[in-house]
Every structure is written in structure tokens, then in C-alpha cells.
Amino acid sequence: MGSDLLFAASTTPAASSGGFDLLGTIMWPFKALVEAILVAWHWLFTAIGLPGAAGLTWVLSIVGLVLVIRAAVFPLFVRQIKSQRKMMEIAPELKKVQEKYKGKRDQLSREAMSRETMALYKKHGTTPMSSCLPLLVQMPFLLGMFYTLSDVKKHAEAGVGGVWLLTKELTKQFYDATLFGVAPLHTSLVDAVQHKPSGWETTVAILIVLVILMIGSQFFTQLQIISKNLSPEAKTGQAYQMQKIMLYILPLGFIFSGLFFPLGVVIYWFVSNLWTMGQQFLVLREMPTPGSDAAKAREERLARKGKAINSEGKVVPVAVYEAEQQKMLEDAERLRAQQPKRQQPKSAKRAKREQGGKPQIGDQS
């Protein structure tokens, strides 16, 4: 979450000019789904007595929309985290393979490096694509939320509704809704400063606070990942260095985007970041990278409870864990004992001496 918004901000469809809108066609089912969820939450809140045109009703509907979509893509998030973790863990081994064939440009060397690289991926059960695929699957749903909320202003001013259940009347309601009775949900920071509508100072203050909270929550989440959830080996890889650089570069992009996002999108972004922080807390606590500071902290917590993590990664009582470790040790010793002892090569002098001490065939005694 975060990089998808930067992507969306740079690819927001322009107003229709009569041509074929490929991106709009691709995004139609996702925006329709988002509208259905948003309208369902709006209907629920109005059914329990909240005014349909109130800003609070639409803000709560946005929160509900984020919760539903993020919960739906949560399994993909977990898979993405695990895949990225594996790629970062094998980064030092990949570097060794690359160093081994550094400077070798012949066909046989390239094929050998490719085979060793693929064997490494197979051994660890991952590929570069496996860490990208879950993100690619998530993005249409996340971008569907972004586009649906961003298009409210354009659709309301054109007198039309959304792509499906967000009718013209509901779009106008959303457009007119204000937070705290002052800040319109369709207004961005730049619009508020340029046009200075009534109460624009409060609108600007709310937007600035939310943008700061958005950037802060995003930065904190990424900082937790690279400081607590990486093993010492992973911190020597190139991917780790890139993450450290992006940790400080991405907030600059968020500041720029935050100037142009409508208040409704900013709220969606902030709530989504809070969800991401919660997810990351769960990952650090229950699924940390082996060898990382988070993993050590988890082992200490389990030890205080009389539990440990077995060879399959499952939490078991310490007695079971110790029995497993003892069995593994005994198995290793048994295998070592079963291996044939290595025969030391004999020198010619020693072999002749030993042969001389034995009766030779044909000797008469």
C-alpha cells in the first residue's frame, strides 16, 4: 500500500474524449465492485439513522470499504510477504552465484549460472515473479478504490453517476458532503488553497494533518520491516540497501501526491495505512523472518510460556521440542556411525613391511 497510489496518481484516466478508454474498460469491474461495497455501507449507515448526505456517513462508508477490500486481499498480502522474505533471504546466495560467473560471457557459463540460479529458486520454493504476482493481483482492487473516490468530483460536476450503483444522486451527495461541516470530501489541498472556499483554512489544516499521518504511518511500517524483520544475512544483500533508500525516497512522492488527492482519497489512504500497520504487527509477532530480531523476540515470548518452535515452524511445548531435538541428534549420530570408516592410504614401505611379516604362498616350513 502506498506505491499503488503513486502509480494511480500518474495514470489517472483523463476525461473521456470519445476514444476507446482501455484502462477504464479494464478497471470497470473493479470500480463496479468498489461502488457496490461503498453504497452497501452507505445504505447500512442511513438505515440505522445517519443522514444520507452527512460527511460522517460517507467517511464511515469509506472506512467500511477499506476494511472489506483489505480483508479480502489479506491472504495475498501474507503470500507476498513470505515470497519477498524468501527472495531477500537467498540474496547473499544469489550474489555468490553471480560472483562465481562474473566476467564469464561464454554460452556455457551463462547456461551454468542460469541452472544454478534456478536450482536455488527451486530449493527455496520461490522466484522473483512469485513475490510480484500477489501484488499485481491486489492492485486492481486497490486502484478501483482510488479511482472510484477520485472520480466523484468529475462525475458530480458532469451531472452523472459512477459505473454502476453509485447513482447520480448518490454521487452528488458524496460531492456535497463535508467533514466537520467544513471540509468537502471532494476538495484537495491545492484546490482549497487556490479557490479559498468558505472555511478553507480548516480544510487545509485537516488535509495537512492527514497527509502527515499518512506519510508517518507508511514510513513507520516500512521501518519496522527493515529494522526488525530481516535476518543478519539479508541485511548484507542489495535488496536491503534498496529498501533503505526507498524508505526515505517514497515519502517525497507521497508529499507531492498528497497535495492533489481529494480529502475522501486521503481518508481512504490513511485508513488503509492503519490496516497495513496492523498487518505488519501481526507478521512481526506471528510470522517473523527466521534469524531476525522479531523472530528472537517471538522465541523469547514462547520460552516464557514454556513453548518453542519445532522444525516444521509449529509452536509446540518445550518438552516436545527437546524430544524432537534429541531424536534429530541421535539420528545424526547413527548415520555418522553407519558410514564406512575411511581407509588411510599406505605407503609402499609400510605395505612391504606388513607383507613381509606374513607367510608367503609356497613357503616351506
Q: 152 pLDDT exceeds 60?
A: yes
Report, in angstroms and rounded to the nearest whole number, the Rg of the chain calculated over CA atoms: 31
Of 101-115, 328-342, 349-363, minimum mean pLDDT range:
349-363
Here the cell at position 298 is: 517471538
Reported as type and span, the H/E element at residue 255 is helix 238-260
- Residue recorded with cell 510477504: 81
Q: What is the dihedral of CA 95, 96, 102, 106, to 10 degrees?
A: -110
DSSP E strands: which ranges in the chain? 178-179, 183-184, 307-309, 315-317
| CB-CB contact of 5 with 257 (8 Å) | yes
Nearest to 65 by CA among 310, 272, 261, 343: 272
| CB-CB contact of 289 with 89 (8 Å) | yes
pLDDT on residue 9: 46
Mapping DSSP onto H, E and C, the string for 292-350 reads: CHHHHHHHHHHHHCCEEECCCCCEEEHHHHHHHHHHHHHHHHHHHHHCCCCCCCCCHHH
Here the cell at position 138 is: 491486489
184 Cβ contact list (under 8 Å, min separation 6): 175, 176, 177, 178, 197, 203, 263
Q: 199 pLDDT exceeds 60?
A: yes
Q: 3 pLDDT exceeds 60?
A: no
Q: At what angle do helices 293-304 and 263-286 cross, to 10 degrees?
A: 60
How large is the average pLDDT for residues 249-271? 85
Q: 249 pLDDT exceeds 80?
A: yes
Query: What value does the mean pLDDT of the chain take?
Result: 80
Q: Return phi, psi of residue 349, to 5°.
A: -65, -45
Distance CA 202, CA 287 (A): 42
Distance CA 110, CA 101 (A): 8
Model pLDDT for residues 14-52, shown as the tens digit of each residue: 444 445 677 778 888 989 999 999 999 999 999 999 998
Model pLDDT for residues 205-237, shown as the tens digit of each residue: 999 999 999 888 888 888 887 878 777 766 776
Alpha carbon separation from 303 to 229, 298, 300, 312 (Å, rounded):
19, 9, 5, 17
Banded pLDDT at 169 (limits 50, 70, 90): very high
Give the chain's length.
365
| CB-CB contact of 183 with 206 (8 Å) | yes
Model pLDDT for residues 346-361, shown as the tens digit of each residue: 566 666 666 665 554 4
Q: Return phi, psi of residue 308, to 5°.
A: -155, 175
